[in-house]
Amino acid sequence: MRITQTSLIKKYYQALIDRTPSFVGIFYVGVKTTDIFCIATCRARKPKFENVEFYTTFKDALTAGFRPCKICKPTQNANQAPPQIEQAIEMVKNSPKQKVTDYQLKVAGISPELVRRWFNQHYSMTFQAYSRMLRINNAVIELKSGKRATDAALDNGYESLSGFGYTYKKLVGNAPKEASNVIVIDRFTTPLGPMFVCATHDGVCLLEFVERRMLETEFRDLQRLLNAKIIAGENEYTQQAKIQIGEYFAGERQRFTVPLVTPGTDFQQQVWQGLHLIDYGTTTSYGEQATRINNPKAVRAVASANGANRIAIIVPCHRVIGKNGSLTGYAGGLARKRWLLEHELTNKLSD
């Protein structure tokens, strides 16, 4: 929402002038003379007091018509993990088979309390739960390659097979000796805000902005349709997706090659395949999309199938607009939809 309280506006403006780091993510400032918005620590020339508007979220600033500043990159840096969190995550990834304790965090100069708060806020889980999921994901990979359960348990930091088996079954849904399917989930930032990417051992099955409506329902549906549990982790497909999405936002990629896993009805599959036929930098209507799949009367059904798409950007449902050219029906928000279309048009024209 736009901030209208005078005392708060003055406080935030002073924080902007002083480039106060503690206000990063607390407010987003829109500059009316340039139509851009920034975070508190932006190094750009400071605007006059009468030329600024303050917002509580970057989505509010986008909706108001402001574009992200290219200097401070507000949608990325306001949601980027702080250095201590990045360091803690690297400790886990560099030693995935060992438990990272609070003591080890303190020795490394990292506040365990800060780590706990950040993970609860951004992952809705504790740091130790995140670490356990990474270790179990590593064990799943090893078991699929033929390693014995006892060896996988010991190699991933578990002192007993029973403790390993209990945690494994709780997170994965079955015993270590049984065939296991898991969906790994990772979080990363983009110029339009943080996203979740999920993947199986066959490809990416979800790519969504973290505050997407009905995201919890999508998670439940994916686990049911793929008969797999979602756990924190990475694989080759989540890494590939993050690289290609980064190239897309940099204007360096127009087509994606990462494999996809898109469980759905036959009609949904038909609609989603049709989305791939909409060229980068162009748009189509729901009616035109229905005609393209030889079902011109199924406009509402097509719109519903678009709304059920779980893989944003790569499966480009943002390129479908209303019959009269209006922007409608995008779960990530119409401001993002407008930004994506303008981004593609600009980069297509510059080719």
Q: Which residues contact 296 (CB under 8 A, 6 or more apart)?
A: 287, 290
**The architecture CATH gives domain 266-349:** Orthogonal Bundle (1.10)
Quote the pLDDT of residue 204.
97
Class of the CATH domain delimited by 183-249 = alpha beta
More confident residue, 33 or 189: 33
CB contact at 8 A, 172 and 59: no
Active site members: 38, 317
- Residue 350: pLDDT above 70? no
> What does the pLDDT look like over 138-160, one tens digit per residue?
788 778 777 888 887 777 777 77
Closest CA to 181 of 135, 242, 225: 225
**The architecture CATH gives domain 83-179:** Orthogonal Bundle (1.10)
Burial class (CB in 10 A: 0-12, 13-18, 19+), 223: middle
Q: CATH 1.10.10.60 in the chain, residues?
A: 83-179
* Structure tokens given for 216: 């919890």
Distance (Å, rounded) from C-alpha 67 to C-alpha 90?
32
DSSP-assigned beta bridge partners for residue 28: 55
Closest CA to 37 of 86, 98, 78: 78
> What does the pLDDT look like over 159-209, one tens digit per residue?
778 888 878 787 877 777 665 788 999 988 888 888 899 999 999 999 998
Angle in degrees, 0-180, between the axes of helices 112-122 and 83-94, rounded to the nearest 10: 90
> What does the pLDDT look like over 239-272, one tens digit per residue?
999 999 999 998 999 999 999 999 999 999 999 9
Question: For the residues 24-39, what does the mean pLDDT come to?
Answer: 90
Q: What are the two backbone dihedrals, phi and then psi, of residue 24, each rounded to the nearest 5 degrees?
A: -65, 125
Q: Which residues contact 269 (CB under 8 A, 6 or more apart)?
A: 262
Q: What are the two backbone dihedrals, phi and then psi, of residue 278, each rounded to the nearest 5 degrees?
A: -85, 115
217 band by pLDDT with thresholds 50, 70 and 90 = confident
What percent of the chain has pLDDT above 90?
Answer: 45
Distance (Å, rounded) from C-alpha 188 to C-alpha 310?
17
Q: Are strands 195-199 and 204-209 parallel, antiparallel or unpaired?
A: antiparallel
Quote the pLDDT of residue 277.
93
Q: CATH 1.10.10.10 in the chain, residues?
A: 266-349
Quote the pLDDT of residue 267.
95
* Structure tokens given for 344: 């593609």
CB contact at 8 A, 141 and 237: no
pTM of the model: 0.72
Distance (Å, rounded) from C-alpha 88 to C-alpha 81?
10
Quote the pLDDT of residue 153.
79
Quote the pLDDT of residue 156.
75
CATH number for region 6-76: 3.40.10.10
Distance (Å, rounded) from C-alpha 296 to C-alpha 260?
27
> What does the pLDDT look like over 308-343, one tens digit per residue?
999 999 999 999 998 888 888 788 888 788 889 989
Q: CATH 3.40.10.10 in the chain, residues?
A: 6-76
More confident residue, 177 or 34: 34
Quote the pLDDT of residue 34.
94
Angle in degrees, 0-180, between the axes of helices 112-122 and 127-144, rounded to the nearest 10: 70
More confident residue, 96 or 175: 175
